[in-house]
Each structure stands twice: as C-alpha cells, then as structure tokens.
Amino acid sequence: MTSPFRFRRFRTRLLVLLLGLLGISQAVTYVLVTRANRTTAITAINEALARGVNQFASIAERRKADLLLAARLMAADYAMRQLFLIEEFSPATARSALESYQERIQRLQTPVIILLSPEGALLADTRGRTNEGQRVAFEILRAQAEASDFQEATGYGFIADIFSQMVMVPLLAPPPEVVAWVGLAFSIEESTARELKKDSALEVSFLTGGRTPRVIASTLSAALAEELARKTNAKEIASTELDLNGEPYITTLRRLETTGGEPVWIVLQRSLEAELTPSRLLERIILFVTLASLALAAIAALWIARGISRPVQRLAAHTAVIARGDYTTRLQFDRIDELGQLAEGFNRMSTGLAERDQVRDLLDKNVSPEVATQLMRDGAALGGEEREVTILFADLRGFTTLSESLPPREVVTLLNRYLDRMSAAIEAHGGVIDKFIGDEIMALFGAPVAQPDSADHALAAALAMRTALATLNAEFAAEGRSPLAFGVGINTARVVAGNIGTQRRLNYSVIGDGVNIAARLQSLTRDAVHRTDIILSAATLEAATRRWRTRPLGSVLVKGRTGTLSIHALEQQTHP
Amino acid sequence: MKIPPLALVLLLPGLAAGATEFTLTVRDARGNPVTDAVVSLHAHAAPAVPTPSADVVIAQEDKEYDPYVTPLIVGTRVLFPNRDTVQHHIYSLSRPKRFEKPLYASGTEEAVVFDQTGVVVLGCNIHDWMIAYVVVLATPYFAKTDADGRARLEGFVPGRYRLEVWHPRVSKPATRELTIDADSNPALEISLNLRPERRIRRAPENKTGGY
C-alpha cells in the first residue's frame, strides 16, 4: 500500500506541506471569522429588535399620554359642559362640537371622537354613525374606565377599520360627577411604522388575525409584507430567522391585545445580509489575503525546494562520481550553510579517499598484501607475538658480476624481472614477502596469517621458484643473456612476529634465532660440496606434513650457534 | 360601578311612642363616622309640604362652596354670595335644577329657587375642584350628620315614616320603614357603603414656584 503523501520529488512534498498548512490555518481563520461575524450580527439584530420593541412601547406610551391629555382637556372644556346644560341634548350639535375638537388636535390623527352616556349609550361621534363593532370596543373600554381607580382606560382597537390606540375619560361636571364619557381613537398605522423604522432602522409591520393574518401596515414592500403574513404563525416569538424572498430576516413577533377585536401582531425585522455588509468586506479582505499568501507560500516553497533539491541532486550525482573511484573531481558550492558544509565534507572525503587509496597502493607495493591487510586491520602498533613460522631466504648468485657488466638501469630491469617471478612463486604458495634486501628475498610462511602447514607451503614455494628460475633462464637464453642462479635456505622456528621499528617508521617482520639460521642455510648453498640450491633444516622437514624428496647433507656447524644442525637438500619431486 | 344596597341596622328594637325626637349615628362599612350625610323622615300620609320659612346661604369663599352639603325644603331660595376676589361661574347639570350663573363678580349675590326634589350638584366652571350638593326634600324633618356621624331629628308626630339617608358618595338614598311611638327615645345606628372618595384635590396655592 502506498501512501498518497509519498512524493518522488522533495519540491512537491514541500509545496503540499506548506500550502496545506497555510490553507488549513487560513480556512480555519476564515470559517471562525465568518461564524463570529454572523453570531455578532444576529446578536446585534436581536438587541436592535429588543430596543425596537421598547421603542414601540415608548412611542405608544407617549402617544397615549398625548391622547389622554387631549381627552382630559376636551372633557373639561366649557363648551362640552354647555352641551349638557341645555334642556334637550342635541346630538347634531354634539357631533359638530366633537368635529371641532378633532380639528384642534389634528396632529394626533384622531379618526374618531365618541361621546357616551354614563350608562354607555352612544350620544354622538365624529363619524355620525359608528359601526356596532367600534361602539362595542368603546363600550368595553368605558366599562374598564368606570371600574378603574382613575376612571380612565386605554387600549388598542380597530376604529373605522383603522388600527388605533384608544382612550376613554369621563366628562366630570363637576368632578367627581360623571356626566358623560369621552372616547378618542388614534391611528397608529403607517405613521407609527415609519417613525419606528426611522428610530430603530428596523422593518416594522402590523398584522392582524388568527391563523391567516393580514397586513395592516408595513414598511416592507407590499409583496414582502404579504409573504411575511403567509409565513407568520399567530405566536409570540422573541427571535427567529425568517426568509423573505430568499433573504434571511431576524424577526420578532409581539402580540398586542385589542379591545373587542382580533389581536394585532407587531413584527420587527432586520435583514441579516444588511447587518453583515460591513463584515462581508472584512471577509473579502481575508479571502484576498489568503489567496495572496497561498501564492506567496507556493513561490517560497518552490524557491526553498529549488535551493535544497538542486544541491542535493548535485551531491547525489557526486556520490556516483566518487563511487566510480574518481576522487579528483571537487564539488563547487558557493554557500556556507549546511549544504555548503556537506559539499565541503564530500570534498574532504574525496581527498581522504584519494590519500587512503594512495597509501594502500604504496603499502601494497612496499609490503605484501597480507601484511598490508594486517596493518590496515590491526593498525600500526608496535609489538609482536610469538608464533611458529617458516622463513625462506633466496639470494641471487653472480648478481654482483652481472651488475658490473651491464648499465645500472638494465641491471635493475633484470633484477626486477627476477624478483617479480620469485615473488609470484612465493605468493602463489601463500608466502609473504617480508623484504627485499638488494637481490636477496626474505619470505615468511605462517605470518602474519597463521598456517599450520607453513613448512609444506615454503617447500612448495621453493620448488616453484626453482621452476620459475628455469623458465626465466630460458627467456634469458633466448635473449642472449647468461643464465641466473640462486640459493635458498629454509628454516622453521618459533619467532616473534610483529611491527618492529619506531612509532614513526616500522616494518612488519619476524625476529629470532630461526631467522638467522635460515639466512645461514641459504649461504650454505654456495658450498659446492652440498650440490644443491635449496637447503632446509631438520626442523622444517619435521614440520612438513607431506612427504618431500630430500637428501640429508649431514650436520653442520652454524656460525654463532653452539652445537650442530642437521640439514637437507630439497630434491626435485618425482610425483606431482 | 354597582352600588351595594344600603344596610340599615337597628340596634334597639322599636321606637318609643310619644317621642318627638331621636338620634341617629351614621357609620361607613369600616365603622368610621360619616359626616355630611343627610337623613330625612318622610310621612306616609303625604302631608302638605310646608312653605320654606327662610332663605339658605351657600357662600363661595376661599374658592370653595360653603357648606359642602345643604339639605332644604323644596321651594327654598338659595343665595350664592361671592366673597372671593375672583369671579365664579356656578353651574348645575343635575336634572332637578339645571342652571348657570355665568361669571359674576366678587361681592355680588345670586339667588336660585330649588323647586324640584332631588340632588343637585353645583360646580364652578372656573374652578374644577369647587363642588356643593343641594338636597331638595319634600319634608321638614331632616338633619345633617356632624363630625361624629350624629344627627338629631325632632318635631315630628308619632307614626309610620320612611327614613332616607343620603351622602355624596352613594348614588341613591338608602331607605328604611319606621314606626315611631310617642314616648320612646330611640337611638339608631346606620351603616353606609360609600363609594371611593373621588373628589379632586385642589392644587396647592402659593406654595411652589410659579411659571
């Protein structure tokens, strides 16, 4: 299963990461801001609605006070009393008097003034013929006034089909004698809605009726007001969201009881969109900032990615160069940051690898591969260990005369050809060239790598050397050169093997009496009495596990040693 | 508002025959004495109403009517002297006597004869708080309760009477049938249910800073 977030390119990963993080944070910010704006707007509208309800109440209260004042003055008016002083009450006169009062208080938009007897009978009204429903409304109000301590009553009602505020006051002549009742109705339709809208910036509608309310007055357009009436249930609602023509309005519905009629609903609203208009600007700015920062982040991500992936690609390519063994090419980074340090590290590594390669090469040429390996593995620490080894010395015969008769360069060439063949023979049988001493070869078997059959290896190597020399001599003969001869001494003994020398310069070698004996045996081959070019000690013969054709040469005295040493000549082997 | 019927409570059984006077005490529902109640005795065998012997004065003084309640025999002439420095304007919208005496000057006097029985309420078109009641009766046996709610009736002969008790705060006079004996000396206690006091309070004069 592969994760969708595995990217082949670092650039893509960085781009996705940066844009993703920024996008998420901006989206969260946008959502939170939008939500907060909406909540704030709804809260603000609800507060405005609550204020609107209070404003309506205070407008109604103020108008009621105006109306009461007008009614009281009217009821106490001298002319009003005069109507009742005459013997025969004249309804026509009373009506015209009421109309005259209506003119006086024109500002109050009073559609009806009514005069009732103390018992509630209609005496006169400004319309001449108040319908029964209105008379009932006024009569209910009169009864309320009579029952109240102040002999006054106010309320809402439909007077001449106009939604009105009503007041009822007594005509006292003299107080507290009630001679008649004076009722005033005051239209609170369009003007109130407009005044309330002006004060509160709310849409104001008056509806009436039960299940299917009808619009009395509204600051909304006629179509919206009709839609409002359709969508309104006859229920008081503190705050709700109501869609009018698809636009949400926060709406409050308050019930007003009317005197002797259906209740009236005052509906206050404000468009949520209108309230959110300032916030929308903020949201658009946030959106713009988001898009701009995403674009900037994308550019930054690509730039950063380029700044990282390009050098990384170059570094990766450079590792391939180093892997090929090219330690000479250098990375050129003109930067001091981590990548610059890395490139520098690469370059130092190349230098180090080159040096190490060179050292290893030189080591291989100066010491045998086994010694070189041992040195590289264990380090060049001074000291040694005792072990049994077989030491082989080989010396070129007549080399001195040869070097005298030939130019030195040719001498070296010849010597190198000889040493090369000998070395090959020795190494082919597990021997290690310890050192070249001029034309002399010192080789070890069983050190530094332990060999339990080091004697067998040494003897096999000696025979191979003899064969290799014969081959070389055949080549020399073909070249018209005189043949070469050598002498080989082999001894097996316990010696100390290790790094010998100083801290600064050392050789891997073996030290011990057995080494000297091997050298002495080599020099014994010069003695013609032995008639052999390869002499081995009895110790070697004993150490050998295979059967070798040897010829005992008896015991000899060795220089620097007490006692005799039994020596043997290595014959050519009959079996392979 | 419905006015509850007047409750008449006889504390002492019967009235002694031969007595020519008796005393009444009028109290409200709480037992407090009621001032300015008019009590009157009306004979069943409708006797001739006596001619009023003298005029009655209802003065206008200190922008008030004095007295507040005046019981009198039908046909009595009432004099209304204006003892204030301002003019007054007496009016009455009451059915027994509708009249007005428009703005008449200080120091002058108006006279009105009350020729129908009933209660006449007097107001002043200039001063809304001024009010007086004239109780026009067809009997000479009447009295007005004093501050203790007491009234004394006298000068009548024993027999059957209708007792009427009226007060500005009742809409109709309360009545009670009585048989009065010559030698008894009855003391009657009557309880009235009064309407709440609605007399408007006169604006305090010269006490607050003017306009």
Q: Which residue of B has its CA nearest to A73?
A: B128
Of B92, B134, B111, nearest to A86 by C-alpha is B92
Per-residue pLDDT of B63-102, as tens digits, reads 999 999 999 999 999 999 999 999 999 999 998 999 999 8
Among B60, B91, B195, B197, the strongest candidate for a mutation testing the A interface, having the largest count of A CBs within 10 A, is B91
Residue A434 CA to residue A366 CA, distance in Å, equals 9
Give the residue, B121 or A372, on which the prediction is more confident. Answer: B121
Strand partners, B182: B18
Among B90, B92, B93, B201, the strongest candidate for a mutation testing the A interface, having the largest count of A CBs within 10 A, is B93
Q: What is the pLDDT of residue B34?
A: 95
The answer to whether B132 touches B58, Cβ cutoff 8 Å, is yes
The answer to whether B143 touches B166, Cβ cutoff 8 Å, is no
Phi, psi of B138 (to 5 degrees): -105, 35
Q: What is the pLDDT of residue A305?
A: 83
Q: What is the pLDDT of residue A382?
A: 66
Per-residue pLDDT of A18-59, as tens digits, reads 889 999 998 998 899 999 999 999 999 999 999 999 999 998
Of residues B93, B121, B196, nearest to A81 (C-beta): B93
Per-residue pLDDT of B27-38, as tens digits, reads 999 999 999 999
Residue A517 CA to residue A529 CA, distance in Å, equals 19
For residue A453, the number of C-alpha atoms closer than 13 Å in the C-beta half-sphere is 11
What 3-state DSSP class applies to A261?
Answer: coil
Strand partners, A93: none
User: Does the beta-carbon distance from B124 to A174 stay under 8 Å?
Assistant: yes
Strand partners, A165: A156, A186
Q: What is the pLDDT of residue B208?
A: 42
Furthest C-alpha separation in chain B: 65
Task: Examine the pLDDT at B111 and tell me if it is beyond 90.
Answer: yes
Q: What is the pLDDT of residue B6?
A: 41
Residue B60 CA to residue A78 CA, distance in Å, equals 20
Written as one string, the DSSP assignment of A221-258 is -HHHHHHHHHH--SS-EEEEEEEETTEEEEEEEEEE-B
Q: What is the pLDDT of residue A130?
A: 58
Of residues A76, A81, A147, nearest to B91 (C-beta): A81
Of residues A84, A146, A177, nearest to B1 (C-beta): A146
Residues with Cβ within 8 Å of A184's Cβ and at least 6 positions away in sequence, in order, are: A67, A70, A71, A74, A108, A110, A112, A113, A114, A166, A167
Residue A458 CA to residue A392 CA, distance in Å, equals 7
Confidence of residue B58 (pLDDT cuts 50, 70, 90): very high
**CB atoms < 10 A from the CB of A347, how many?**
17
The answer to whether A185 touches A166, Cβ cutoff 8 Å, is yes
Q: What is the pLDDT of residue A168?
A: 95
Burial A308-327 (b: 16+ CB within 10 A, else e): bbebeeebeebeeeeeeeeb
User: Does the beta-carbon distance from B198 to A151 stay under 8 Å?
Assistant: yes
Q: Are strands A112-116 and A178-187 parallel, antiparallel or unpaired?
A: antiparallel
Residue A381 CA to residue A221 CA, distance in Å, equals 106
Q: Quick one: A1 exposed, middle or buried, by C-beta within 10 A (0-12, 13-18, 19+)?
A: exposed
End-to-end CA distance of chain B: 39
User: Does the beta-carbon distance from A174 to B121 stay under 8 Å?
Assistant: yes
Of residues A84, A87, A175, nearest to B128 (C-beta): A175
Of A66, A261, A71, nearest to A151 by C-alpha is A71
Task: Examine the pLDDT at B107 and tell me if it is beyond 80.
Answer: yes
User: Does the beta-carbon distance from B125 to A87 stay under 8 Å?
Assistant: no
Question: Chain centroid to CA A431: how far?
Answer: 63
Question: Chain centroid to CA A218: how far?
Answer: 57
Interface residue B172 vs chain A (CB under 8 A): no
Q: What percent of chain A has pLDDT over 70?
A: 94
User: Does the beta-carbon distance from B93 to A173 stay under 8 Å?
Assistant: yes
Confidence of residue B131 (pLDDT cuts 50, 70, 90): very high
SS3 of chain B: helix, strand, coil, percent, to 5: 0, 45, 55
Of A441, A349, A429, nearest to A395 by C-alpha is A441
Question: Angle A546-A552-A558 (CA atoms, 0-180°, nearest 5)?
Answer: 110
Interface residue B30 vs chain A (CB under 8 A): no
The answer to whether A395 touches A486, Cβ cutoff 8 Å, is yes
Of A258, A253, A274, nearest to A205 by C-alpha is A253
The answer to whether B55 touches B154, Cβ cutoff 8 Å, is no
What 3-state DSSP class applies to A184?
Answer: strand
Interface residue B125 vs chain A (CB under 8 A): yes
Confidence of residue B10 (pLDDT cuts 50, 70, 90): very low
Residue A428 CA to residue A465 CA, distance in Å, equals 10
Of residues B93, B122, B196, nearest to A84 (C-beta): B93
Residue B165 CA to residue B26 CA, distance in Å, equals 9
State how far the alpha carbon of A19 is from the alpha carbons of A3, B23, B28, in Å: 19, 110, 94
Furthest C-alpha separation in chain A: 194
Q: Which residue of A has its CA nearest to B125?
A: A78
A120 to chain B: which residues are within 8 Å by CB? Answer: none
> To which residue do tokens 């005051």 refer?
A186
End-to-end CA distance of chain A: 64
Residues with Cβ within 8 Å of A121's Cβ and at least 6 positions away in sequence, in order, are: none
Structure tokens at B173: 């006079």
Burial B58-96 (b: 16+ CB within 10 A, else e): bbbeebbbebebbbbbbbbebebbbebeeebbbbbbbeb
Structure tokens at B175: 């009545």
Of residues B1, B98, B131, nearest to A174 (C-beta): B131
B200 to chain A: which residues are within 8 Å by CB? Answer: 172, 175-176
Confidence of residue B52 (pLDDT cuts 50, 70, 90): confident
Q: Which residue of B has its CA nearest to A83?
A: B93
The answer to whether A287 touches A263, Cβ cutoff 8 Å, is no
SS3 of chain A: helix, strand, coil, percent, to 5: 50, 25, 25
Answer whether 0.95 is exceeded by the pTM.
no
A78 to chain B: which residues are within 8 Å by CB? Answer: 125
Q: With the C-alpha atoms ordered A320, A321, A325, A330, is the resulting torsion angle positive or negative?
A: negative
Q: What is the pLDDT of residue B120?
A: 96
- Given a cut of 70, the residues of chain A with pLDDT beneath it are 1-5, 128-131, 363, 366-371, 374-383, 560, 575-576
Residues with Cβ within 8 Å of A61's Cβ and at least 6 positions away in sequence, in order, are: none
Q: With the C-alpha atoms ordered B104, B105, B106, B112, is the resulting torsion angle positive or negative?
A: negative
**How far does A82 lie from chain B, in Å, by closest CA?**
9
Task: Examine the pLDDT at B133 and tell me if it is beyond 90.
Answer: yes
Of residues B93, B125, B199, nearest to A176 (C-beta): B199
| Neighbour order of strands in the sheet with B187-192 | B7-9, B187-192, B21-28, B150-154
